[in-house]
Structure 1
Amino acid sequence: MMHLLLMSFALCIVCGNSKPTELKAQVVHDEPLSHLQHDDNKNYDYDHEAFLGQDEAKTFDRLPPEESKRRLAIVVDKMDSNKDDFISEEELKFWIKQTQKKHIYDSVEHQWKDFDTNADGLISWEEYKNVTYGSYLDDPQTDTDYNYTHVMLRDERRFRAADANKDLIADKDEFTAFLHPEDHERMRDIVVQETMEDIDKNGDGVIDLTEYIGDMYAAENDGDEEPDWVETERQQFSEFRDKNHDGKMDKEETLDWILPSDYDHVEAEAKHLLHESDANEDGKLTKKEILDKFEMFVGSQVTDFGEALLRHDEF
């Protein structure tokens, strides 16, 4: 079974009177990316769920196969930057990176107008706080199950980390670092800190094996048999995560786990797509080879998780 480490932190911003923002660390810690069997000779449901999640994977089902192929062919032409009628690994990597950048840009642009309440082209911490937590600040609820105060302080800490010039006012770059901290070097410490706070249930400043497994798996009923991958994860923790073999992960070990310096998920995805589609094994892809595997491509990052094929204005 192929294990790809997908590192994508999704920050869900909900405005108005709804629940404030919090960082959700959606890290697949070498757990199977889908609970379906991975067999590319039969189908690509595994890849769909690995890259999309079960709900997003349904996006592909909205288009009939021939229409998906037609639109994917247009994408292939755009990917072929040197117009040699082949898609190289480098062109795949570049396309995936550009797709990611566009996703981040669109995310920031979509949320910018909600928080720049005075329309001055900047977002202050006060603006962000008032939009996100306004209803709570007006009427603090001490009996709620959700700790608004804790999350607000956590948001402020991350806002300050993203605020390069320390004026508590974010420009586009600083606000992007706040929303997408995993993509900014100066935010690495805050990403690790938030991850450890989420997983370190006993608050001792480290992640032990029980907490590590508990972050990924919890039995629904007492006595439920653990999936096989849980035991694999125990071995991963002991052999690879806990590098000094002291039974726990400290800050540096956690950093190496969630933001490994020797792993490039864009390169891994490009190599995977190339390997699965390169029928003649010449190290590059023709349009026909890609269209022959269209089920996989429309469910991968190369088409913005399939969403690019649904933008009618582009086709």
Structure 2
Amino acid sequence: MASRQAPLCGLAPHCLWLLGVILLMDVSARPANHSSARERAGNKEEPEILPPDHLNGVKLEMDGHLNKDFHQEVFLGKDMDGFEEDAEPRRSRRKLMVIFSKVDVNTDRRISAKEMQRWIMEKTAEHFQEAIAESKVHFHAVDPDGDGRVSWDEYKVKFLVSKGHNEQEVVEKIRNGEELKVDEETQEVLENLKDRWYQADNPPSDLLLTEDEFLSFLHPEHSRGMLKFMVKEIVRDLDQDGDKQLSLPEFISLPVGTVENQQGQDIDDSWVRDRKKEFEELIDANHDGIVTMAELEDYMDPMNEYNALNEAKQMIAIADENQNHHLEPEEVLKYSEFFTGSKLMDYARNVHEEF
């Protein structure tokens, strides 16, 4: 399994989402993941020991939730600055119009599906390169002897230390083959991580990961083999009848829990609506009502140019008010929240000032 490198919302709704998630929390629940890219980006002080749940530019989270920030990630790339809630509106509008000009390759003041597709692939490549750079840092953090290979035991020590265990005690127990006393949840996580470690370990398997293999471990979207493994994990979690494929009812099944108020009900309604649309319009390629592992893998693959074109068409359709199958400056500004996460007002009056 070779490592692949790419060549290539408003504050109030966010608070309601967060409140809804808290209300729906349950030990066995699968609540919608509404964490924003800005929140995730703000917590990078410590080396990433666990493979991240969120992968930039990938449609599903590792746990099977829809990536709510996907469209912003493939429109803005890694450059999210300038669209924060407290950003100066005029500056944000100007920056958005600069992006518009870059997407509009033929300078006809309209963005076509082909232009948006090219842009999506370019921004996805940026996320890939960012992941590669971060993985290098994380690899060196878990490679204490600097030999260019990380053993499972070295990684396990770092992981358990991050969970509050004493490093010397853990090292001694592993060296002596003694049993490590960990809680049930931590043991389950370790077993899942070891399965993923095996998958990332190119034959012949020795439980030693090189820097490229470690990248596949943290970022399965960089490896065809690991992408398949991630798809299998998602299907396993959602597949209720054990047929190793997903029906629409399985894909849109609601989180376990009792809806206590209207806000919670709105979360449920949004969960079903978003997942139903994604299932029917993008994942189920042959529209037979069943999603196979192959279909899900194609959908998840950020390198899939056909999917990028479909995404481009969908993104244009969201804001295409005059139905000409293109995006114009006024439309992008009006629907800025979809593209950037920030709602920029006075779009009609300001478009000529900024563009």
Instruction: Give the TM interval when normalised to the shorter protein.
Output: 0.5 to 0.7
2:101 to 72, 77, 96: 77
Is residue 315 of structure 2 the alignment partner of residue 273 of structure 1?
yes
Cα distance change on mapping 1:86 and 1:192 into 2, 3 Å: closer
Pairwise mapping of residues 198-277 of structure 1 onto structure 2 (< 5 A)? Answer: 198-199=237-238, 212=250, 216-220=254-258, 255-256=293-294, 258-259=296-297, 266-277=308-319
**Counterpart Cα distance in 2 of 1:205 and 1:276:** 35
Q: CA deviation at 1:200?
A: 6.4
Secondary structure of the structure 2 residue equivalent to 1:25: coil
Specify the alignment match of 1:144 in structure 2. Answer: 183
State whether residues 110 and 329 of structure 2, in contact with CA within 8 Å, keep that contact through their aligned partners in structure 1: yes
Cα distance change on mapping 1:218 and 1:120 into 2, 3 Å: same
Q: CA deviation at 1:82?
A: 4.2
Q: What do the CA deviations read for 1:212-244 (whole angstroms, capped 9, x no partner)?
A: 47964112379x99856888889x89xx8xx99
**Counterpart Cα distance in 2 of 1:17 and 1:112:** 10
| One-letter amino acid of the structure 2 residue matched with residue 151 of structure 1 | V
State whether residues 125 and 159 of structure 1, in contact with CA within 8 Å, keep that contact through their aligned partners in structure 2: no
Secondary structure of the structure 2 residue equivalent to 1:285: coil
Specify the alignment match of 1:171 in structure 2. Answer: 211
Specify the alignment match of 1:97 in structure 2. Answer: 121
Specify the alignment match of 2:197 in structure 1. Answer: 159
More strand by share: 1
Cα distance change on mapping 1:163 and 1:15 into 2, 3 Å: farther
State whether residues 86 and 287 of structure 1, in contact with CA within 8 Å, keep that contact through their aligned partners in structure 2: yes
**Counterpart Cα distance in 1 of 2:100 and 2:147:** 36
> What is the count of residue pairs matched by the alignment?
257
Pairwise mapping of residues 62-73 of structure 1 onto structure 2 (< 5 A)? Answer: 62-73=86-97
Q: List alignment gaps of at least 5 residues for structure 2.
A: 1-32, 54-60, 171-178, 343-355
Specify the alignment match of 1:184 in structure 2. Answer: 223
1:108 to 132, 146, 152: 132
When the two structures are superposed, what TM-score results if normalisation uses the length of structure 1? 0.57
Cα distance change on mapping 1:105 and 1:75 into 2, 3 Å: same
Is residue 216 of structure 2 the alignment partner of residue 195 of structure 1?
no
Q: List alignment gaps of at least 5 residues for structure 1.
A: 1-5, 35-46, 301-315
Q: CA deviation at 1:151?
A: 2.3
Cα distance change on mapping 1:295 and 1:191 into 2, 3 Å: closer
**Counterpart Cα distance in 2 of 1:192 and 1:76:** 34
Q: CA deviation at 1:72?
A: 0.7
2:112 to 72, 88, 98: 88
**Counterpart Cα distance in 1 of 2:47 and 2:93:** 43
Secondary structure of the structure 2 residue equivalent to 1:71: helix
**Counterpart Cα distance in 2 of 1:273 and 1:213:** 22
